[in-house]
Structure 1
């Protein structure tokens, strides 16, 4: 963009010009929506708050279960419970054990726990992936707006440099005329 033409570009025209450079946006239905978002003002958002406010009770519960299931507290507690179960049935209650050595009942409980916990963790991971997609889209908009602002600032600086050079030339011409007038 020629710095002499900068004055003729409005903010909207500059944004359109930059958006047209993005080949992925050309002809897409996002183009106009993105254009209006970029000229409307602040576009950065806290995606976590917006996403978390829309979660149902079941989704929030699943996230908490998945968070707990992936914590050291769960691992240590689970290890302690398993140790107590095995030691209790194999050593302490050896003659009257309610779940003797192959621990069939323990295996059933662990299988049920895994069958319930796996889909809950997957649901939570899917929501996290959606949150990541929203964050990436928001980052793209913020970066694009920053690029537009920076390009606009560069254009204005170029314009000011050109004006300064023009003022210097005019000043030199005026100084020459003053010298000519003094010499006459």
Structure 2
């Protein structure tokens, strides 16, 4: 009778009397699985026993928990990236459109004059005007020319035109330089934001890879435990 009692023990979960070779002590259970068992059975201590079938049920729950956690963590990673991008105002805005809205009438006129003064249309019209002026004063109005050679009035007009055109072009160039500086600042901000986000992504991916590797090792260890349990069950039959 004593030998019979020695061969059997009680499972702490099902309260059934089972052969000892079908039971496993709590000290041989992995911490993650043991935590799940204690969560459902607070009275389960390190000296308690449970059957292999009961242990396999909690091993399955633990594996399911790991997989659910991994999927949830991946979704959380995607959510963090989206929030990091949408939390701040978009930096890559259209600078040209923004500056065009703030132009005054003088700035618009200066841009038009600078654009026209640097075109072939202005050069051709300018030379045509000079040739026409000289032809009128030399040939058509030779006896009563209003600006005879050496065309002093024409030189005065050209000097006044150059004196007025130069500061207008400088105004346009200064505004374009300010626009280029602002574009450079925007480019720097966009590049910096992209660099920080890429670095953040690298850190999260590295953390995710390390974390997943640890989980895979735990899964493999549980699989090894299952194989060992199968071998232990097969030994009495052999």
* TM-score (norm: length of structure 2): 0.59
Q: How far off is 1:39 after superposition?
A: 5.2
Identify the residue that residue 114 of structure 2 maps to in structure 1. Answer: 66
Which whole-Å deviations, capped at 9, do the CAs of 1:81-133 have from their partners, x for residues lacking one? 11111222223332332211211111000000000000000011111111111
User: Where in structure 1 are there 5+ consecutive unaligned residues?
Assistant: 1-6, 16-37
Q: How far off is 1:151 after superposition?
A: 0.9
SS at match of 1:40: coil
Identify the residue that residue 101 of structure 1 maps to in structure 2. Answer: 149
Identify the residue that residue 116 of structure 1 maps to in structure 2. Answer: 164
Q: Distance in 2 between matches of 1:112 and 1:169?
A: 85
Rg larger in structure: 2
- The change in CA–CA distance for 1:117 and 1:124 in structure 2 (over 3 A counts) is same
Identify the residue that residue 213 of structure 2 maps to in structure 1. Answer: 165
SS at match of 1:162: helix
Point out the structure with the larger strand share: 2
Q: How does 1:1-184 map to 2 (within 5 A)?
A: 40-184=88-232
CA RMSD of aligned residues (A): 2.0
If asked which structure has higher relative contact order (CA below 8 Å, sep 6+), I would say 1
* TM-score (norm: length of structure 1): 0.75
User: Where in structure 2 are there 5+ consecutive unaligned residues?
Assistant: 1-75, 233-238
Q: Distance in 1 between matches of 2:149 and 2:183?
A: 51
Q: How far off is 1:146 after superposition?
A: 0.7
Stretch deviating more after TM superposition (45-54 or 62-71): 45-54
SS at match of 1:96: coil
Identify the residue that residue 28 of structure 1 maps to in structure 2. Answer: none
